[in-house]
């Protein structure tokens, strides 16, 4: 279509479409099929040190922070180690408690974001161990860390991060797999996840084939002044990242909410002028999620639902975007890809500067 063709000129569009190849690069040489685990030489940790970790704390800014939340879920689900993510820009200002048995993880595409770098320095000054999930080799954050996982996304130019972000998720899956396999994650579960990781590049390619439908949905969303992005548990950081991308490049107000919290406030705003983009994977929460969508539809709120093929939406009046299913732990990244294209095509429809949105820099290197 014209929309898809016109999109070809921007870096963001190119970077979105590079993801099948860039995720493959993130995986290459890092999967140990026989033991169902990841091989991450750059962590500089032996199995005993890996086992001694009692907590994981993830730090990043912007999209890196939201992927960090996805990463925390992966660590908790696969390794059963308490994990959470925090905005690196806030961390050092609250005199954080640095624990010797916590693994700190700094996430950054550029490796130069000053807030993340200063968080790393604060941790190391207090004797903490920090690893980096960084794209740019030899960058300041990569050099400051005790070890790390390079993202191998290749150069990313567009301010709105896409392929680097996807590889951050892959990096977290590899880390969680390794942390899990020195604990209670079984070899069978390890192999199940490895098979899932190997399916990601092809499944991302399948999602990218739905670009025309996504462009049409985006053009309608771009007409609204304000939007909600909703999701629950694994789907919530996906919604946060989706809202972030949308507001960064389309300049529309986009707010992420937990689907479960809708009835505790934001439902008051729903009407025909306020569309909702809902993340509804096929999981243990599907029925509850679909129930919330009917609440929105009853108030004539327009709906775009990013979901799986087998999810039954009933008679719901909604634009439906289905992504392929993977292992439930890995689904969040596949649900994120259509949201990149929604943001992208909204900005394209509005005629905005996609690669260089106003007021933003690719990496913020001054405080
Ligand atoms: C800036 C960009 C964001 C990005 C964040 C973190 O604020 O506008 O898009 O997510 O920095 O960048 P980093 O290079 O550390 O991943």
- Residue 62 alpha carbon, nearest atom of ligand 1: 10
Q: How far apart are CA 106 and CA 139, in angstroms?
A: 13
Lowest mean pLDDT among 103-107, 212-216, 351-355: 351-355
Residues 6+ apart with CB under 8 A from 290: 280, 311, 312, 313, 314, 316
Nearest Cα to Cα of residue 195 among 24, 358, 33: 33
Q: Is the CB of 364 under 6 A from ligand 1?
A: yes
The pLDDT assigned to 363 comes to 83
Residues 247-257 have a mean pLDDT of 96
Lowest mean pLDDT among 154-158, 316-320, 362-366: 362-366
Is the confidence at residue 218, as pLDDT, over 60? Answer: yes
Tokens of 164: 């680097």
Q: Is the CB of 59 under 6 A from ligand 1?
A: no
Q: Is the CB of 139 under 6 A from ligand 1?
A: no
CB 148 within 8 A of CB 131: yes
Other beta carbons less than 10 A from residue 284's beta carbon: 9
Q: How far apart are CA 270 and CA 297, in angstroms?
A: 9
Mutate to test the pocket of ligand 1, among 11, 63, 87, 243 (most ligand atoms within 8 A of CB): 63
Lowest mean pLDDT among 1-15, 158-172, 257-271, 275-289: 1-15
Q: How far apart are CA 256 and CA 262, in angstroms?
A: 10
Residues 6+ apart with CB under 8 A from 179: 50, 53, 56, 75, 78, 79, 81
Nearest Cα to Cα of residue 333 among 201, 157, 187: 201
Per DSSP, what are the bridge partners of residue 185? Answer: none
Examine the predicted complex and report whether its ipTM is higher than 0.90. yes
Q: Is the CB of 286 under 6 A from ligand 1?
A: no
Q: How far apart are CA 96 and CA 59, in angstroms?
A: 12
Nearest Cα to Cα of residue 303 among 291, 316, 314, 315: 316
Nearest Cα to Cα of residue 135 among 292, 26, 3: 26
Residues 130-148 have a mean pLDDT of 97
- Residue 60 alpha carbon, nearest atom of ligand 1: 15
What is the helix (H) or strand (E) element at residue 140, kind and residue range? Answer: helix 140-144
Reported as a pLDDT band with limits 50, 70 and 90, residue 366 is confident
Q: Phi, psi (5° rounding) for residue 96?
A: -65, 145
Tokens of 206: 């399948």
CA of 201 to the centre of ligand 1 (A): 24
Tokens of 71: 């990463």
pLDDT tens figures, 310-320? 999 999 999 99
pTM to 2 decimals?
Answer: 0.96
Mutate to test the pocket of ligand 1, among 108, 137, 161, 355 (most ligand atoms within 8 A of CB): 161
Residues 98-126 have a mean pLDDT of 97
The pLDDT assigned to 8 comes to 61
Strands (E), 273-344: 276-280, 303-308, 319-323
Nearest-CA residue for ligand 1 atom 1 is 363
Q: Is the CB of 19 under 6 A from ligand 1?
A: no
Q: How far apart are CA 330 and CA 299, in angstroms?
A: 33
Reported as a pLDDT band with limits 50, 70 and 90, residue 93 is very high
Residues 135-153 have a mean pLDDT of 97
The pLDDT assigned to 2 comes to 47
Q: How far apart are CA 321 and CA 237, in angstroms?
A: 18
Residues belonging to the chain: 367
The pLDDT assigned to 266 comes to 86
The pLDDT assigned to 364 comes to 85
CA of 159 to the centre of ligand 1 (A): 8
pLDDT tens figures, 187-207? 999 999 999 999 999 999 999
Dihedral sign computed on CA atoms, order 287, 79, 258, 203: negative
The pLDDT assigned to 247 comes to 96
Nearest-CA residue for ligand 1 atom 11 is 363
Q: Output the average pLDDT for the chain.
A: 95
- Residue 360 alpha carbon, nearest atom of ligand 1: 8
């Amino acid at each position: 279509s014209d929309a898809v063709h016109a999109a070809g000129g921007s870096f963001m569009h190119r970077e979105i479409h590079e993801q099948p190849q860039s995720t493959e690069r993130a995986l290459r040489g890092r999967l140990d099929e026989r033991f169902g685990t990841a091989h991450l030489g750059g962590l500089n940790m032996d199995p005993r040190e890996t086992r001694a970790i009692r907590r994981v704390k993830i730090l990043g800014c912007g999209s890196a922070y939201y992927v960090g939340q996805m990463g925390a879920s992966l660590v908790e689900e696969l390794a059963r180690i308490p994990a959470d993510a925090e905005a690196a820009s806030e961390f050092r200002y609250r005199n954080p408690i640095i624990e010797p048995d916590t693994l700190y993880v700094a996430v950054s595409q550029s490796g130069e974001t000053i807030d993340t770098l200063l968080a790393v320095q604060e941790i190391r000054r207090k004797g903490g161990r920090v690893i980096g999930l960084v794209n740019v080799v030899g960058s300041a954050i990569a050099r400051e860390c005790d070890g790390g996982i390079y993202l191998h996304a290749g150069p990313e130019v567009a301010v709105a991060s896409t392929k680097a972000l996807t590889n951050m998720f892959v990096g977290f899956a590899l880390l969680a797999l390794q942390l899990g396999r020195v604990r209670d994650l079984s070899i069978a579960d390890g192999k199940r996840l490895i098979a899932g990781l190997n399916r990601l590049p092809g499944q991302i390619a399948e999602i990218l084939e739905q670009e025309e439908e996504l462009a049409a949905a985006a053009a309608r969303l771009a007409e609204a002044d304000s939007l909600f992005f909703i999701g629950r548990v694994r789907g919530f950081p996906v919604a946060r990242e989706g809202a972030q991308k949308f507001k960064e490049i389309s300049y529309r107000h986009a707010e992420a909410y937990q689907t479960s919290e809708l009835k505790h406030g934001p439902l008051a705003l729903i009407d025909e002028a306020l569309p909702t983009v809902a993340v509804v994977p096929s999981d243990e929460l599907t029925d509850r999620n679909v129930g919330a969508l009917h609440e929105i539809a009853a108030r004539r709120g327009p709906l775009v639902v990013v979901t799986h093929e087998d999810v039954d939406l009933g008679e719901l009046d909604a634009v439906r975007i289905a992504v392929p299913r993977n292992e439930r732990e890995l689904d969040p990244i596949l649900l994120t890809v259509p949201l990149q294209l929604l943001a992208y095509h909204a900005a394209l429809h509005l005629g905005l500067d996609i690669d260089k949105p106003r007021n933003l820099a690719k990496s913020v290197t001054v405080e």
